[in-house]
Structure 1
Amino acid sequence: MKNIRILYWLSTLIFSFWMLLNAKAYLTNEEAKVLCRHFGFPDYFRVELALAKALGAIVLLIPSIKGALKEWVYAGFTFTVISGSIAHVASGDPLTYLLSAFIALFILFISYHSYHQWADQNA
């Protein structure tokens, strides 16, 4: 049980920190703004996505939040990472750009599955 809890917190901290940094970049970094324009996204969507990523990361980090809200956050992050991958491919970016998305998705899945293992053991 201790190993599952450590795996959950490690993967969740890594993923959440990654999303918080990504959200900050979407709001403050000119390269991130250019990337969103490259994808054809309107500027308001970049801001909306940054806020959603920050709020989602916070929800994942609050242990007392359980149930449907946490499930929706995991689903939202899954859709976001997959949609970002599609945006890269559709914009003509090289497939190597997808490596970070696959890593993020892998870490997110570890967090999700270890969350459920840990929750099932404590039920």
Structure 2
Amino acid sequence: MKKDKTIYWVATGILTGVMLWSAFNFAFNPEMKNAFAHLGLPNWFRIELTTAKLLGSLALLLPFVPAKIKDFAYAGFTITLVSATVAHLSSGDSVLLEIGHLTFLASLVVSYLYYHKINRVLT
């Protein structure tokens, strides 16, 4: 059980760390406006994505958040990572950039599976 919790928290820490860093970068890095324009995305979406990443990270990190809300956060992050891959590849960015997205997607899957494994044991 302790090993499962450690795996869960490491994977969740990687996932939420990346999402929080990304949200911070989207919010405070002026170059992000150009990056979103390069991907063909409007500036308002940068703000919306920043907010969603902050809320999703809080949902996964706070223990009192209901399981259904956590599941929505996992789904939202999955959509975000898959959409980022599509956006970057569609705009002609390097395939090597997708190594990061796939790594974070793997962390998301591990976090999700271990979250449910831990909670199935506890209930």
Question: TM-score by structure 1 length?
Answer: 0.96
CA offset digits 1:20-77 (Å, max 9, x no partner): 0100000111232221110111101001001100110011001111321111110000
Q: Distance in 1 between matches of 2:66 and 2:6?
A: 18
Name the structure 2 match of 1:35.
Answer: 35
Runs (4+) of structure 1 exceeding 3 A deviation are none
Q: Which amino acid aligns with 1:35?
A: A
The 8 Å contact of residues 14 and 104 in structure 2, kept in 1 or not, is answered as: no
Query: RMSD of the alignment, in Å?
Result: 0.9
Question: 1:1-123 maps to which residues of 2 (within 5 A)?
Answer: 1-123=1-123
Contact 2:4–2:118 (Cα < 8 Å) also in 1? yes
Distance of 1:45 and 1:75 partners within structure 2: 18
Q: Secondary structure at the match of 2:102?
A: helix
Q: Is the 8 A contact 2:11 2:108 kept in 1?
A: yes
Distance 2:54 2:36 in 1: 17
The number of residue pairs the alignment matches comes to 123
Structure 2: 5+ residue runs without aligned partners? none
Q: Extract unaligned runs of 5+ from structure 1.
A: none
TM-score w.r.t. the length of structure 2 is 0.96
Contact 2:19 2:57 in 1 (8 A): yes
Segment drifting more, 17-26 vs 31-40: 31-40
